[in-house]
Amino acid sequence: MTVKTLHIPTADGRADAFAAFPDRGERCPGVLMYPDGFGIRPVLREMARELAGHGYYVLVPNLFYRHGPAPMIDLPEHIGEGTRAKVFEQLMPLIEAHTVERSLSDADAYLRFLTAQPEVVDGPVAVTGYCFGGLLAVRTAAAHPGQVAAVAGFHGPVGADGPDTLNRLTAEVYFAHAETDMTPESLGALDQALDAAGVTHTSEILPGTAHGFTMSDTDAFDAAALQRHWDRLLPLLGRTLAGG
């Protein structure tokens, strides 16, 4: 396994990023992994390495590079209920400043950089995202319909941009929602919008889960839900990416 800290040229500077990919010397499919609002940290590096171990080049950008390199703030080892509010108080201005225009400009730069890496095979890529990163994954896939073959979002506001964005999706979609984030009625409305857009998709609520269920450094972590995340994500990548 090779891991690197990289810097991605963007319209507004350089975004620091974490990359992980196999050592076997063969080119592999690329995956752009958007972190949650807490950003690049040990748990995200661990998840990127886990995915890379299945034969993918995984690129995890610092979403808030305009404000400085990751980590943007001092994070506790475990983000529990006692610290969550204080952490979000610091992060929310950065999230609010990350406009649609900025996210789309960055997506162009991230995909251009990812596909130019010598370890990445020619062909389509996948985009995954967690929490706020799930929304960014959908935006990226919608803006690059000929390039993104799969998009996966976990406990994120994936439909927040509305049907106009969903209508531009051509990628195969998997969404996993926390029970505390999505009602069955809201899920039905999202599924209806995806159906109307002609999107091949699976979208489900994971019973008993809270927002952030994939993140082992938070109180929301659910080991069974994280395993389901892998059980759904890996087959999606395998059937949509060349060499996956």
Instruction: Determine the average pLDDT of the residues in 124-140.
Output: 98
Name which residue leads in pLDDT, 221 or 25.
Answer: 221
- Residue for token pair 């972190």: 35
For residue range 33-65, list pLDDT tens digits in order: 999 999 999 999 999 999 999 999 999 999 999
Residue 243 has pLDDT above 80, yes or no: no
Q: pLDDT at position 25, please?
A: 84
Domains and CATH numbers, the chain: 2-240 (3.40.50.1820)
Nearest to 62 by CA among 72, 52, 47: 72
Q: Which of 69-78, 111-120, 163-172 has the lowest mean pLDDT?
A: 69-78
Q: What is the DSSP string of 105-134?
A: HHHHHHHHHHHHSTTBPSS-EEEEEETHHH
Dihedral through CA 212, CA 213, CA 215, CA 220, nearest 10? Answer: 80
- Residue for token pair 């991230």: 110
For residue range 5-18, list pLDDT tens digits in order: 999 999 999 999 99
Q: pLDDT at position 174, please?
A: 98
If phi over 0 gives left and psi between -120 and 50 gives alpha, with beta otherwise, what is residue 208? left
Q: pLDDT at position 75, please?
A: 87
Side-chain half-sphere exposure of 82, counting CA atoms within 13 A:
3
Instruction: Determine the average pLDDT of the residues in 204-216.
Output: 97
What is the reported pTM?
Answer: 0.97
Q: What's the rounded Cα separation, in Å, for the pair 102 and 94? A: 12
Q: pLDDT at position 244, please?
A: 58
Is the backbone peptide bond immediately before 184 cis, with ω within 30 degrees of 0?
no
